[in-house]
Amino acid sequence: MATTWHILGAGSLGSLWATRLFRAGFAVQLILRDAERLAAYHAEGGLTLDEKGLRRTYAVAAQTLDATEPIERLLVACKAYDAEQAVSSLASRLAPGAHILLLQNGLGSQDAVAASVPAARCISISSTEGAFRDQDFSVVFAGQGFNWLGDPANPTPPDWLHALQASGIPGQWTPDILTRLWRKLALNCAINPLTVLYDCRNGGLLEHDQEVASLCAELAQILERCGQPAAAVDLYADVRRVIQATAANYSSMYQDVAQGRRTEISYLLGHACAIAARHQCQVPALNQLHERLIEHLTARGLPSD
């Protein structure tokens, strides 16, 4: 029998993956927090995907965390700060050699999950696809993108990658997933916190070029010191390119703060500063940015971790 895709978290990306896999004919089980969320899901009649204004609802099967059936393949689609605890609560259901796919942005949560379930194979995904929830259990596919998948502990690709292609999920295996995750983290650190502090769209940072340049120089230093020199190559030029290409957009961190949602700061700027400290790397501009961001979040009653 074909392996079921268990998908933990029916939020933006979880729903985007679940609906595409389901409509391509793969077996999919959503895993929701509790009976209350499951009842709310059943009341909606399924997951709705809005693609270019075309809305369709798919009756994807769903269960709660405490169902008992074993899990062989788990896509973890919750936020970085929820991942370790959510996966731990499923540890007793994981089949020997289960594959766990981690969609979390930033770094730090992947290692925490891998340490909590050492018998599983953990595969990290760096995604540039964009989706947001317009209602409960309804997701808008907002931005075409790509998914890089890789396992820092084992460069051999898994045998289920064809399922992505068959489902129209753009993706490719890479032996350098850490480089991809670090590069994305560095881009995020150079752009997102400043957009929050200056209350601006990405393009607003063109007026703060010197500050962006200083952050990029420190980020490149961290990347070189922690064994990721490839992620440091032409970082500043790439950051400038992203700022220009996305000038009209609000960053994900900006949107989180504007909507009073917890950010993933600890897995982005917080992680960069922690790694810098571990490698005794002097990064005054990044540390000051981190402090200003924490102050800003605290003043708005948002968690600073």
Residues with a catalytic annotation lie at 184
The residues, any chain, with a CB within 8 Å of residue 255's CB and separated by 6 or more, are 261
Does residue 108 bind ligand NAP (CB under 6 A)? no
> Cβ 284 to ligand NAP, closest distance in Å?
27
CA–CA separation, 199 vs 293, rounded Å? 12
- List beta partners, residue 76: 8, 102
Task: Tell whether residue 270 is a contact of ligand NAP (CB under 6 A).
Answer: no
- Write down the least CB distance from residue 99 to ligand NAP, Å: 18
Cα–Cα distance for residue pair 167/19, rounded to 1 Å: 9
Q: Can residue 171 be called a binding residue for ligand NAP (CB under 6 A)?
A: no
Residue 8 makes contact with ligand NAP by CB under 6 A: yes
Task: Give the Cα separation of 302 and 34 in Å (integer).
Answer: 25
Q: Does 10 bind ligand NAP (CB under 6 A)?
A: yes
Q: How far is the CB of 39 from ligand NAP (least distance, A)?
A: 12
User: Does 9 participate in binding ligand NAP (rule CB under 6 A)?
Assistant: yes
Q: From the CB of 165, what's the least distance to ligand NAP, in Å? A: 20
70-89 residues in contact with ligand NAP (CB under 6 A) are 77-80, 82, 86
**Backbone phi, psi, residue 136, to 5°:** -60, 135
**Apex 275 CA angle, 111 and 300, nearest 5:** 90
Six token digits for residue 59: 């009756």
Q: Given candidates 130, 152, 157, 203, which one binds ligand NAP under the rule CB under 6 A? A: 130
Of 106, 89, 114, 108, residue with least CA distance to 33: 89
- Distance from C-alpha of 197 to C-alpha of 266, rounded to nearest angstrom: 17
* Interface with ligand NAP, residue 65, by CB under 6 A: yes
| Residue closest to ligand NAP, measured at CB | 11
Instruction: Single out the segment in contact with ligand NAP by CB under 6 A; choices: 29-37, 92-100, 116-124, 174-182.
Output: 29-37
> CA triplet 252, 258, 260: central angle to 5 degrees?
100
Write out the residues near ligand NAP by the rule CB under 6 A.
Answer: 8-14, 31-33, 37, 65, 77-80, 82, 86, 103-105, 127, 129-131, 133, 264
